[in-house]
Chain A
Amino acid sequence: MTKDTSRVNPLENEAIYIIREVAAQFEKPVLLFSGGKDSITLVRLAQKAFYPAKIPFPLMHIDTGHNFPETIAFRDRLVKELGLELIVRNVQDSIDEGKVKEESGRYSSRNSLQTTTLLDAIEEFKFDACIGGARRDEEKARAKERIFSVRDDFGQWDEKNQRPELFDMLNGQIHLGQNVRVFPISNWTELDVWSYIERENIEIPSIYFAHTRATFLRDGLIWSSDDEVVYRDENEVVEERLVRFRTVGDMSCTAAVLSDAADIASVVQEIRESTISERGARIDDKRSEAAMEKRKQQGYF
């Protein structure tokens, strides 16, 4: 049914509204950029929010040092093209300074070590708002997250004492030392993000599309073989497989999926038909049912 009034995309309009509120209500906002599809989508939304002016805040990447090289190359190209400021803070530095201890063994990952580096960076730059690409559909504890989520001086999330969010109104008032984590695409699903990337023709790193990769199997999941970064038992055999990544984080905690989806349309189709959730391929959540909630309380994104 066609109507004379044109329809709008409510999710995009909501996200742009939220991003503009951040720029207006905070003194030192930053957009946390991981190089993944959600943060790339955020960058596009921020471009839209302020066009024809530039995005009025920097991007920050907390680099685990275990990222896919494709992601880093993509990141550097994007900030250059858009003329944005990029801040990089390294987990390796936190390890070298003895602030965190590298995990070892079979399921070791630098994913949870990011928290310390992130909190230090927030303090270093005195950021009062950090925009992130988390979505409520990702995980059960995230479903409880506010759009403006207040963190205390220690970056902690008090999940039982959150501010109510009424209508469109966002309360960004905080005490000195507190900061707010902002989630403009809270209400998007994985499929919404992919559909948007398709519609907007947004460029994303090549690892999201089918490619041949040296991999090995563990616990029914497909891992990228990179002995520097990903722990592998001797009896875990490396084989070439046609895969792609559905979510992109640290190499040591992101598993690939078998796929021949080589372009965005096939990826959207694949997601539409999928029966496994996005985070099903993230070992960091599988550690325990409450894994995410626990990490969030400690200041993780």
Chain B
Amino acid sequence: MRKILILPTSYLILKNMEVLKIATAGSVDDGKSTLIGRILYDTKSLTSDKLEAIEKTSKQKGYDYLDFSLATDGLVAEREQGITIDVAHIYFSTQTKSYIIADTPGHVEYTRNMVTGASTSQAAIILIDARKGVIEQTNRHFFINNLLRVKEVIVAINKMDLVHFSEDIYNKIKADFETLMQKRDYQDQNITFIPVSALKGDNVVHKSRNTPWYKGQTLLEHFELLDTEDVYNVGTPRFPVQYVIRPKTEEFHDFRGYAGKVYGGELSVGDEVVALPSQTKSKIKEIYLYDQSYQTASRRSSVTITLEDDINVSRGDMLVKVDDLPTIDKQFTATISWMDSQNLVTGNKYVLQHGVNKVLAKVDAIHHKIHPDYSGIEEHISALGMNDIASVTFKLNKSIFFDPFKNHRTNGSFILIDSQSNNTVGVGFIQ
């Protein structure tokens, strides 16, 4: 096998390699679907057959404009009712990046969908209807993106065409939002305000002539200039072992590799590591991706690691640097977002999936519910229902190795699985 020092240059020149995942947030009818459709249209990402379909359906519905929301609303029920039911993922690319935008629906299971969308995104667009300004819903959208530590937030003040592109209205909404920002927990979040009209296309991809008072970038310009490395929250390296690779062939008779993805930081050949939970020490011998070996595995790369010593490591175990241990405990308190129609009550047991590791968890105590609109907390709670956010203590049957969510977005989060229905019923952020 060839030894080289860094990833091969082909990685550096590959086009469409920078990927930016963006979630949208806004109340029903604020214009999320229209905004995404507009971006697709103005970046010429809509192919002629899709555009024709939109023109045809818009005409059938008797509109005198193109209904861009038709580009994203994919299910039959969605088109019939003119609403978005489930998260849709929309793809387009420019010369600098590939974009994935999650169009999140704005009603019943809203919190659940928004938490889901935000969990896989590094950026979010919060839409505000310029006629309505900052409303209770806006608090919620901001709260969730802050809770999930989405690094980059764009506040798109939409439907500016309906308020005569008024600078005063824009400034008033911006000031209201800035008041809200003071309440946030995650202060490192970058927040940018842009006045737009999704329907007419102002400041979405092209600069608007209707807002001479606005000197900032358009929505797309802003994303184009973002460095996709900077949109990730950096932590310390954590390597949860997904799968043990034992070829048992003549050529690789004694090969024992640990397959997984590197989170938070980098790992290099020669690093002294500890395997958890056994706490056995060793050193990284080799790092592979396919048939090439590397000196360093960068953040978020899927690699295979071999160790100097023959120690016992299996799926669910974790490799970390010796001087950099996570918390190892059978009990913790987390902020959870409940996503199931069956209530969570004290004493309930769930399967807790932390990365690729599964343990059993019992609800030890529900401390309080957190109103996601910054209106405070509610104590003496006995049960949590769909869309509730609360502070909960869990007891586990086995220790897990975690970091607080604020230090490590991956190693500080988990999902809860109902062992009766097998459904994913909640997500947690360890405090």
Q: Which residues of A contact B (CB under 8 A)?
A: 2-3, 5-14, 16-17, 20-21, 23-24, 47-54, 136-137, 139-144, 159-160, 162-169, 171, 173-175, 186-187, 189, 191-192, 195, 199, 274-277, 280, 289-290, 293
Contacts and interface: CB of A to CB of B under 8 A. Distances in A.
Contacts of B248: 53
A141 B73 CA distance: 9
B53 interface: yes
B251 interface: yes
Given A163-B423, A166-B116, A276-B47, A13 B301 contact: yes
Contact of A199 (B14, B87, B90, B299): B14
A61 B14 CA distance: 31
Contacts of B90: 143
A174 B422 contact: yes
A165 B102 CA distance: 13
B158 interface: no
Given A23-B243, A24-B243, 6 more contacts: A11-B17, A51-B245, A139-B74, A143-B89, A164-B339, A187-B89
Given A166-B119, A171-B415, A8 B301 contact: yes
Contact of B245 (A53, A160, A277): A53
Interface residues of B, number: 85
B98 interface: yes
Instruction: Identify the interface centre among A2, A14, A169, A174: most chain B CB within 10 Å of its CB.
Output: A169
Contact of B100 (A53, A163, A174, A187): A187
Interface string B183-215: 000000000000000000000000000000000
Interface stretch (B4-12, B169-177, B374-382): B4-12
Given A49-B259, A175-B422, A54 B85 contact: no
B91 A136 contact: yes
B98 A192 contact: yes
B293 to A, nearest CB: 11
Contacts of A16: 302
A17 B19 CA distance: 16
A194 to B, nearest CB: 10
B93 A13 contact: no
Contact of A276 (B17, B48, B93, B243): B48
Interface in B246-291: 246-249, 251-252, 255, 257, 259-261, 266, 288-291
Interface stretch (B130-138, B348-356, B365-373, B396-404): B348-356
B7 A8 contact: yes
- Say whether chain A's binding surface is mostly helix, strand, loop, or mixed: loop
A10 B119 contact: no
A20 B89 contact: no
Contacts of A175: 422
B38 interface: no
Given A49-B259, A136-B89, A160-B86, A5 B266 contact: yes
Q: Which 6 A-B pairs have the closest CB atoms?
A: A140-B74, A16-B302, A53-B247, A277-B47, A173-B422, A6-B7
Nearest to A165: B116
A51 B85 contact: no
B89 A21 contact: no
B353 A169 contact: yes
Contact of A48 (B53, B243, B260, B290): B290
A166 B299 CA distance: 19
Interface of B: 6-7, 10-12, 14-19, 44, 47-50, 53, 57, 72-77, 79, 85-91, 93, 98, 100, 112-113, 115-116, 119-120, 229, 242-243, 245-249, 251-252, 255, 257, 259-261, 266, 288-291, 296, 298-302, 304, 315, 339, 351, 353, 355-356, 409-410, 413-415, 417, 419, 422-424, 427
Contacts of A52: 245, 247, 249, 251-252, 255, 257, 291
B298 A276 contact: no
A9 B247 contact: no
B353 A10 contact: no
Q: Which of A3, A14, A164 has the most CB of B within 10 A?
A: A164
A143 B84 CA distance: 12
B359 to A, nearest CB: 13
B41 to A, nearest CB: 13
B8 to A, nearest CB: 9
Contacts of A276: 47-49
20 contacts: A7-B11, A8-B11, A8-B299, A13-B261, A13-B301, A52-B245, A52-B252, A53-B245, A140-B72, A143-B74, A144-B87, A159-B75, A168-B355, A169-B415, A171-B424, A187-B91, A192-B98, A199-B14, A280-B49, A293-B74
B17 A10 contact: yes
Contacts of B116: 164-166
Contacts of B299: 5, 8
A7 B17 contact: yes
Contacts of B409: 167
Contacts of A199: 10, 14
A272 to B, nearest CB: 9
A144 B17 contact: no
B351 A173 contact: yes
Nearest to A22: B243
A8 B248 CA distance: 29
A275 B417 CA distance: 43
A5 B265 CA distance: 11
A162 B423 CA distance: 9
